[in-house]
């Protein structure tokens, strides 16, 4: 996984660079140009660019519109959910929520219940809004510390703490937590120093008859995590990882106070030597100015 | 390697990004306050030249306000309409977040200034993500970003279906560190590390649900943190089982029909014997020291020196040091070894009895002296114990066996002693690993018991405890005790906000030095008394007490609840 992800940073860049390589001049050997000036009142205009920057920015812009087609990993996760718990690890923005939404859609159509938990109230609120637009207000409720609406709805969106508290209540009162599916969004919060224990408790206490769908950022030990879930719940837990790195490739740049932009990495994938040189010269005389205290 | 450079003004930064066609961007700043300020500054200094977008935003905002009247007239609407920028942090009301998300996805915003701590909560992507440094703000200071945190942030760069490429831009900052950012970008993702811990709320709820500690313990032992230990325990149990089998085989081969637990008992006797032998005093001085440690205790009169003429009543003893009161009433302290005769009666340590005590010792003299042990006596006594153990060891083999079989049995037991020892050791290891998980819970259970929320011996949650379990809050003990004492009911709005702020704000976060009025101070003082009571109980049981109350936050909250203007408050305090 790691290798694929890494290669994306430089490999993709290399491929791109090969396409438009007029000269083989190395980064950092570029002659310095005079700084283009942009005043505040000026309308944005394209700043004169060095070849390095041209390459850095090549291809910037919007792709032609395409019809949405789910990725293979999304379909794989959805299929696996029929038989087992699923841990999905993928970078943000690669469509983890889509998997949850489609599974919820299937359950709601069959009149079944589901829980969707997220770590932050703000996220919970926007998911609530999103699901209302998707499934209709009568089918979605919200439960956070501040907000309780339509709590008998088939789909409940709430914070992980509230879900864990419901598990406590049902253990104490003998009642059952209703539902077929619990989605734990941002499941990597398990490693949060203050609140992480709540995620563990939620996973340990969720009855095995309820399917767990865990959506996590990329983590280094996904299979170990899934093995633990299997141990404590006695239910198989599959791992679905998005192959390749990000859905949209990432390039890194460094901006100078004079508004010059330069690539953060050179062709070899190392720190741009020009930046390294600058850091060396300035670190010789560290500035005494304190951090802005506001 | 730091590359320290003055930060660009927000508008300048946006102009530079715009010049490279890098907008829209999410700009991460360390504090909420800086996000709000940067957004206003940018809106003030820049003018979006695109009149259409300007109008589109105005129209959108008008429609939105009709639906969500709570954002009407908000000072940030202007920032959004005029500047095409917004701020994002955990302190915003839901409607404000909603309007920002919608404008962003409609492509009507150029920039969002967000705190790094809410990176996970940012669910609007942009073309570019901007960082001013490689640090993250914590409650008490700064620390380096982790690879995962940076990944969370860069995850917002590049909109699926709307961007061919996403960008991360390291912009000038006083603590900028391009090398560190480069390293983090290339780092493999951090592993998920368990942060499982014992909390009062969890303990109360689980104990109430199961009605016994064993099941609560079983839940705690299933934590991700304990997983490694659990595996280790399984391996140790396998090892123990193997050793049990080895012992059984050895006994069988010797035609000895003893159960393997006899082998364990045998090993314990043998090792007890060894310890006893090791502990035997070898010299007279050792014997004497041991005896003195036993008999010299507060309330006894002792003589100093071999002559023993100077009498002292012992008041205190710690290890080898003794202090006491002399006949003339003066204090004295001396080493244990200097003590000669020790008189048997133990007197009460009251001034009025001391004189009588000395008088009695003078009158009765030597008849009250406890006889000193002789080396020979000690040896006999302890060798008696050794003999006794030897006898038990002898009798371990079944009596009905004939002499040869008996000898074979005893020999087999001796041969199995290594395995038996290993079993004892493994069992102790298993016990201590299980103890490690459970101990924090047990300690908390004792605190809860001391305060009446749990009946420790019956393993039951009391009525009050059930009520506390229902609160589902942080720091339940402090709040529970306060409610119990009717403290919260007596507070007015301002004192209540101050109190809540004092309890919930980070202990070490400074909100400036505003004055608190007497009413609030006395309300907080009553809370502190309760906090002290709870903390004392926690110290006693070895539980780390909850952080203290933050008076500075209380003052800031009281101002706010008292109707102070937000921006005045922000200037007066360091609230973010």
Tell me, yes or no, whether B172 lies in a domain. yes
Helix, strand, or coil (residue A148): strand
Contacts of A219 in chain B (CB under 8 A): 148, 189-192
Strand (E) or helix (H) holding B53: helix B51-67
Helix/strand/coil (H, E, C) string of B480-518? HHHHHCCCCCCCCHHHHHHHHHHHHCCCCCCCCCCCCCH
Specify whether B313 is located in the same domain as B460: no
A192 and A140 in a common domain: yes
Flag whether residue B8 sits within 8 Å of chain A, measured between CB atoms: yes
Pair (B149, B61) in one structural domain: yes
**Interface membership of B166 toward A (CB under 8 Å):** yes
Q: Which of B163, B186, B209 is the last residue of a domain?
A: B186
pLDDT value for B78? 78
Q: Tell me which DSSP letter residue B548 carries.
A: -
Q: What is the overall mean pLDDT for chain B?
A: 85
Q: Considering CB atoms only, which of A38, A193, A293 is closest to B16?
A: A38
**Is pLDDT above 70 for B361?**
yes
Q: Tell if the CB–CB gap between A246 and B181 is shorter than 8 Å.
A: no
Contact B114, B28 (CB under 8 A): yes
Residue A231's pLDDT band, with cuts at 50, 70 and 90, is very high
State residue A163's pLDDT score. 95
Domain count, chain B: 4
**Does residue B371 share a domain with residue B406?**
no
The pLDDT confidence band at residue A4, using thresholds 50, 70 and 90, is very low
Tell me the pLDDT band of A79, cut-offs 50, 70 and 90. very high
Residue A180 and residue A278 in one domain: no
Write down the pLDDT at residue A10: 37
Is residue A152 one of the residues assigned to a domain? yes
Residue B434 resides in a domain:
yes
Contacts with A196 from chain B: Cβ below 8 Å: 194-196
How many Å apart are CA B8 and CA B14, to the nearest integer?
9
Predicted confidence band of residue A25 (pLDDT cuts 50, 70, 90): very low
Name the residue among B392, B381, B385 with its Cα closest to residue B269. B392
pLDDT at site A34? 42
Tell whether A157 is covered by a domain: yes
- Is the domain of A265 the same as that of A133? no
Dist CA B84 CA B112 (whole Å):
9
Residues of chain B positioned with their CB less than 8 A from the CB of A280: 1
Q: Cβ(B64)–Cβ(B87) under 8 Å?
A: no
DSSP string of B360-411, one letter each residue: HHHHHGGGGBPPPP-HHHHHHHHHHHHHHHHHHHHHTS-TTS-HHHHHHHHH
Confidence at residue A7, expressed as pLDDT on a 0 to 100 scale? 37
- Give contacts of B185 with chain A, Cβ < 8 Å: 9, 250, 252, 264
pLDDT reported for residue A48: 58
Asked if B42 and B82 touch (Cβ cutoff 8 Å), the reply is: no
Are residues A260 and A168 part of one domain? no
**A123 lies in a domain?**
yes
Q: Give A286 to chain B, closest Cα distance, Å.
A: 8
pLDDT at B384: 82
Q: How much is the average pLDDT of A18-43?
A: 43
pLDDT at A31 over 70: no
Crossing angle (nearest 10°) for helices A2-19 and B178-186: 110
> What's the average model confidence in pLDDT over B448-463?
95
Alpha helices in A81-120 (DSSP H): 96-109
Interface test with A, best of B9, B16, B230 (most A CBs within 10 A): B16
Whether residue B94 sits in one domain with residue B23: yes
- Residue B57: pLDDT over 70: yes
Looking at the structure, do residues B340 and B366 belong to the same domain, yes or no? yes
Q: A100-129, pLDDT tens digit by residue? A: 999 999 999 999 999 999 998 878 888 998
Q: Pick from A45-59, B298-312, B440-454 the range whose average pLDDT is largest.
A: B440-454
Asked if B575 and B556 count as a contact pair (C-beta separation under 8 A), the reply is yes
Counted domains in chain A? 2
Contact B266, B417 (CB under 8 A): yes
Same domain, A262 and A186: no
The C-alpha of B158 sits at a distance from chain A's nearest C-alpha, in angstroms, of: 6
Model confidence at A246: pLDDT above 60:
yes
Q: How far is A49 from chain B (nearest CA, A)?
A: 9
Q: Which tens digits make up the pLDDT trace of A167-195?
A: 999 999 877 777 899 999 999 999 988 89
Q: What is the pLDDT of residues B385-417, one digit of tens each?
A: 888 888 888 787 777 777 788 888 888 888 998
pLDDT surpassing 50 at residue B295: yes
Among the partner residues A92, A126, A220, nearest to B156 by beta-carbon distance = A92
Angle formed at CA B361 by CA B358 and CA B364, multiple of 5 degrees: 145
pLDDT for the residue A294: 41
List, in sequence order, every residue forming a beta bridge with A158; answer none if it has no partner: A117, A143
Residues B79 and B148 in one domain: yes
Q: Is residue A14 part of a domain?
A: no
**Residue B571: pLDDT band with limits 50, 70, 90:** low
Q: Are residues A232 and A114 in the same domain?
A: yes
pLDDT of residue A23: 44
DSSP-assigned letter for residue B80: I
d(CA A231, nearest CA chain B) in Å: 8
Q: Indicate whether B392 belongs to any domain.
A: no
CB contact under 8 A, B169 and A253: yes
Helices marked H in chain A? 2-19, 51-57, 72-80, 96-109, 121-135, 160-173, 196-205, 222-233, 273-283
Same domain, residue pair A96 and A174? yes
The answer to the question of residue B278 being in a domain is no
- Whether residue B277 is contained in a domain is answered as no
B491 pLDDT exceeds 80? no
pLDDT band at A17 (very low <50, low <70, confident <90, very high): very low
pLDDT above 70 (res B470): yes
Look at B411 and A84; give whichever has higher pLDDT.
A84
pLDDT band of residue B43 (cuts 50, 70, 90) is confident
Determine the Cα–Cα distance for residues B461 and B466; give it in Å rounded to an integer.
6
Handedness of CA B38, B39, B44, B49 (dihedral sign): positive
pLDDT at B477: 87
Contacts of B14 (CB under 8 A, 6+ apart): B23, B25, B42, B46, B85, B110, B111
- Which A residues in the span 13-32 are in contact with B, Cβ-Cβ below 8 Å? none
Does any CB of chain B come closer than 8 Å to the CB of residue A246? yes
Q: How high is the pLDDT of residue A20? A: 44
The mean per-residue pLDDT over the stretch A225-249 comes to: 90
Per-residue pLDDT at B507: 66
Closest CA to B228 of B426, B427, B436: B436
Domain of residue A267, residue span: 251-284
Does ipTM come in above 0.90?
A: no
User: What pLDDT sits at residue A67?
Assistant: 81
Greater confidence, B369 or B493?
B369
CB of A251 within 8 Å of any CB in chain B?
A: yes
Domain end, chosen from B454, B471, B488, is at B471
CATH number at residue A235: 3.40.50.300
Q: How many CB atoms lie within 10 A of CB A10?
A: 17
B335 pLDDT higher than 70? yes
Domain assignment of residue A28, yes or no: no
Among B446, B428, B461, B451, which Cα is nearest to B198's?
B446
Residue A246 falls within a domain, yes or no? Answer: no
A189: contact with B, CB 8 A cutoff? yes
Best probe of the B interface among A200, A261, A266, A270, by most B CBs < 10 A, is A200
Cβ neighbours, 10 Å, residue A185: 23
Most confident of A282-291, B57-66, B210-219, B515-524: B210-219
B439 CB near a chain A CB, below 8 Å?
no
The answer to whether B163 contacts A248, with C-beta atoms less than 8 Å apart, is yes
Element (H, E) at B130: strand B128-131
Does residue A225 sit in the same domain as residue A280? no
CB contact under 8 A, B178 and A254: yes
Average pLDDT along chain A? 81
CATH number at residue B351: 2.30.30
Distance from C-alpha of A148 to C-alpha of A142, rounded to nearest angstrom: 6
- Domain assignment present for residue B391? The answer is no
Q: By residue range, what is the domain housing residue B61?
A: 10-186
Furthest-apart CA atoms within chain A: distance in Å: 75
Q: State the average pLDDT over residues B117-136.
A: 77
In this complex, do B205 and A193 lie within 8 Å of one another by their Cβ atoms?
no
> Would an 8 Å CB–CB cutoff place A64 in contact with chain B?
no
The 3-class secondary structure across B192-211, one letter per residue, is CCCCCCCCHHHHHHHHHHHC
Domain boundary among the residues B167, B186, B205 is at B186
Nearest CA in chain B to A169: B205
**pLDDT band at residue A39, thresholds of 50, 70 and 90?**
very low
Rounded to 10 deg, the angle between the B518-541 and B551-561 helix axes is: 140
The verdict on B104 and B211 lying in the same domain is no
- Residue-wise pLDDT for B263-277, tens only, equals 999 898 888 888 887
Whether residues A165 and A231 share a domain: the answer is: yes
């Amino acid at each position: 996984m790691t290798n694929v992800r890494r290669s994306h940073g430089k490999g993709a860049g290399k491929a791109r660079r090969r396409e438009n390589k007029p000269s083989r001049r190395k980064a950092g050997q570029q002659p310095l140009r005079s700084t283009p000036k942009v005043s505040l009142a000026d309308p944005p205009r394209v700043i004169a660019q060095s070849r390095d920057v041209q390459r850095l920015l090549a291809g910037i812009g919007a792709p032609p519109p395409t019809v949405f087609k789910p990725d293979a990993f999304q379909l794989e996760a959805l299929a696996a959910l029929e038989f087992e718990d699923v841990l999905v690890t993928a970078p943000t923005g690669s469509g983890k929520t889509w998997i949850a939404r489609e599974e919820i859609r299937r359950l709601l159509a069959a009149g079944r219940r589901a829980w969707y938990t997220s770590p932050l109230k703000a996220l919970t609120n926007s998911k609530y809004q999103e699901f209302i637009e998707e499934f209709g207000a009568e089918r979605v409720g919200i439960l956070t510390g501040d907000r309780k609406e339509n709590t008998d709805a088939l789909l409940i969106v709430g914070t992980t703490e509230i879900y864990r508290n419901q598990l406590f209540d049902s253990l104490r009162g003998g009642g059952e937590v209703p539902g077929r599916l619990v989605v734990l969004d941002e499941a990597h919060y398990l490693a949060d120093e203050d609140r992480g224990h709540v995620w563990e408790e939620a996973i340990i206490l969720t009855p095995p008859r309820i399917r767990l769908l865990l959506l996590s950022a990329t983590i280094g030990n996904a299979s170990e995590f899934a093995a633990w879930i299997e141990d404590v719940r006695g239910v198989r837990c599959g791992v679905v990882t998005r192959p390749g790195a990000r859905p949209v490739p990432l390039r890194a740049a460094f901006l100078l106070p004079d508004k010059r932009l330069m690539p953060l990495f050179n062709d070899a994938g190392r720190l741009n030597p020009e930046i390294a040189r600058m850091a060396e010269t300035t670190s010789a005389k560290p500035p005494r100015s304190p951090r802005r205290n506001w | 390697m730091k590359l320290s450079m003055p930060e660009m003004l927000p508008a300048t930064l946006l102009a530079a990004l715009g010049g490279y066609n890098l907008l829209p961007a999410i700009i991460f700043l360390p504090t909420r306050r800086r996000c709000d300020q940067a957004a206003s500054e940018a809106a003030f200094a820049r003018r979006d030249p695109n009149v259409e977008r300007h109008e589109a935003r105005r129209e959108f905002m008008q429609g939105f306000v009709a639906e969500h009247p709570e954002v009407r007239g908000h000072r940030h609407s202007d920032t959004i309409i005029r500047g095409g920028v917004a701020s994002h942090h955990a302190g915003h009301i839901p409607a404000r977040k909603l309007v920002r998300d919608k404008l962003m996805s409609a492509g009507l915003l150029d920039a969002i200034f967000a705190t790094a701590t809410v990176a996970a909560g940012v669910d609007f992507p942009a073309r570019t993500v901007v960082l001013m440094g490689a640090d993250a703000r914590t409650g008490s200071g700064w620390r380096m970003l982790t690879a995962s945190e940076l990944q969370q942030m860069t995850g917002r760069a590049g909109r699926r279906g709307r961007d061919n490429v996403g960008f991360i831009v390291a912009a000038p900052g006083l603590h900028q560190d391009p090398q560190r950012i480069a390293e983090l970008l290339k780092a493999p993702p951090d592993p998920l590390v368990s942060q499982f811990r014992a909390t009062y709320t969890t303990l109360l709820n689980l104990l109430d649900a199961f009605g016994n500690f064993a099941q609560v313990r079983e839940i705690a032992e299933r934590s991700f943190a304990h997983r490694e230990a659990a595996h280790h325990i399984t391996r140790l149990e396998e090892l123990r089982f193997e050793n049990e089998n080895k012992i059984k085989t050895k006994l069988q081969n010797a035609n000895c029909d003893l159960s393997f637990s006899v082998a364990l008992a045998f090993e314990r006797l043998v090792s007890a014997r060894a310890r006893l032998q090791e502990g035997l005093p070898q010299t007279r001085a050792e014997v004497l020291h041991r005896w003195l440690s036993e008999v010299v205790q507060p309330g006894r009169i002792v003589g100093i020196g071999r002559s023993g003429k100077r009498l002292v009543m012992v008041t205190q003893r710690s290890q080898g040091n003794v202090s006491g009161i002399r006949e003339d009433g003066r204090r004295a302290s001396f080493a244990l070894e200097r003590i000669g005769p020790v008189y048997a009666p133990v007197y009460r340590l009251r001034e009025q009895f001391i004189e009588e005590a000395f008088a009695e010792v003078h009158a009765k003299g030597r008849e009250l002296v406890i006889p000193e042990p002789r080396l020979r006596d000690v040896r006999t006594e302890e060798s008696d114990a050794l003999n006794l153990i030897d006898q038990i060891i002898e009798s371990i083999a079944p009596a009905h066996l004939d002499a040869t079989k008996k000898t074979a049995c005893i020999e087999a037991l001796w041969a199995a002693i290594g395995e038996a020892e290993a079993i004892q050791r493994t069992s102790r290891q298993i016990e201590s690993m299980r103890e490690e998980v459970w101990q924090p819970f047990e300690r908390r259970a004792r605190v809860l018991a001391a305060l009446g929320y749990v009946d420790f011996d019956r393993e039951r949650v009391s009525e009050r405890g059930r009520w506390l379990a229902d609160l589902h809050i942080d720091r339940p003990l402090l709040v529970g005790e306060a409610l119990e004492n009717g403290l919260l009911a007596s507070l007015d709005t301002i004192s209540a906000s101050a109190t809540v702020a004092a309890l919930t704000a980070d202990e070490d976060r400074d909100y400036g030095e505003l004055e608190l009025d007497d009413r609030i101070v006395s309300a907080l003082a009553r809370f502190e008394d309760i906090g002290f009571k709870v903390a004392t109980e926690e110290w006693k049981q070895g539980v780390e007490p909850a952080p203290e109350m933050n008076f500075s936050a209380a003052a800031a909250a009281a101002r706010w609840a008292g109707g102070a203007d937000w921006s005045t408050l922000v200037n007066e305090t360091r609230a973010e």
